[in-house]
Amino acid sequence: MAGKTDSLAGNASSGRAKGMALVLSGAVLWGVSGNAAQYLFNEKLVSPGWLTSVRMLSAGFLLLLWSAALNRRAVWRIWTERRSVRDLLIFGLIGMIGSQYTYFEAVAAGNAATATLLQYLNPVLIMSYLILRWRRKPNRVESAAILLALAGVFFIVTRGHPGQLSLAPAALFWGLLSALGGAIYSCQPSRLLKKWGAAPVVGWGMIIGGTAMSLFYPPWIFHGQWSGETLAGMAFVIFLGTFLSFYLYLASLKYLQPIETSLLGCAEPLSAAAVSVTIMKVPFTVFDWLGAFCIIMTVVILSFPQKR
């Protein structure tokens, strides 16, 4: 009996380790893909809008293809319910574009590290919206999270000099807008995700958002300098940084609790910052790291369940 118990404990431990490896790999790929996008914008003069169109259409098609391989009917069944169609259109046009396009504009105007960190403010925006909606005062944990988030933005934007901005106004604007888009992206499709699953919902959302972006940035009209490095950077953003990272995240849910995936997902801004500093040679001061610490701690605090 003891041997059987030890075996079960060992399997659980092994599964948890596998889940941690999966979610960390996905988070790192997602973070590094921001640096690949930064390279395309700065070195190859690729348009953020054009890359958004191509990324969403390509990754959306791959997600739907994968979802169809698992359950073909589930991919199309979502279009048979009127309410789901309405919610899906809102998700694709507002949530998906609001998070994807604004993030790339933030990267182009600044760098991948600060853009990723600013986007990670979305849990604070969600919490603030819920506090206003429920018309109640924030508790101590929520107040601490808000103060930490504000401190993090202050350190990143001013680098310890309140009288001047160390971050381009456009980068700050698009970064905060991407946090708002990320908040909508996280909350709006909750009913869809419960009913239809993540892969078909996100896949169709990307197709809808990518189709809308194509009206302004047609994928067949390339904006930038074409080369082998450009193709490699695009492949990393689309296949590794979007499709594979999303797959790894979903696979990790089989072994981990959602709170664990949220906490381990903090590897995304850390990996973006590390690559920005070591490879992209983006100057990162003590105040930048202090701001990153504050924002990541905000996510950590809000990831833990609280009493109602």
How far does Cα 280 stand from its chain's mean position? 20
Helix, strand, coil in percent for the chain, rounding step 5 = 80, 0, 20
- Dist CA 242 CA 215 (whole Å): 22
Percent of the chain exceeding pLDDT 90 equals 47
Give the residue, 21 or 305, on which the prediction is more confident.
Answer: 21
Domain contains 98: yes
Structural domain count of the chain: 1
Q: Is residue 218 part of a domain?
A: yes
Region 95-112: mean pLDDT is: 95
Confidence check: pLDDT of 259 > 80? no
Query: What 3-state DSSP class applies to 121?
Result: coil
CB 74 within 8 A of CB 192: no
Cα–Cα nearest to 121, from 102, 137, 134: 102
Q: Is 142 contained in some domain? A: yes
* 16 belongs to a structural domain: no
**Residue range(s) defining the domain that contains residue 263:** 28-303
Q: Decide if 100 is inside a domain.
A: yes
Structural domain contains residue 5: no
User: Is the confidence at residue 59, as pLDDT, over 90?
Assistant: yes
- Stronger pLDDT, 160 or 23, i.e. the higher one: 23
- Residue 160 has phi, psi (to 5 degrees) of 85, 5
**Per-position DSSP letters for 2-51, written without gaps between them:** HHHHHHHHHHHHHHHHHHHHHHHHHHHHHHHHHHHHHHHHHHS---HHHH
308 falls in which pLDDT band (50, 70, 90)? very low
Please, are residues 119 and 182 in contact by the beta-carbon 8 Å criterion? yes
Q: CB neighbours of 180 closer than 8 A, spacing ≥ 6?
A: 98, 102, 122, 125
Is 6 domain-assigned? Answer: no
Does 8 fall in a domain?
no
- Can you tell me which residue has the tokens 């808000």? 146
The model's pLDDT over 5-15, given as tens digits with 9 standing for 90+, comes to 445 455 556 77
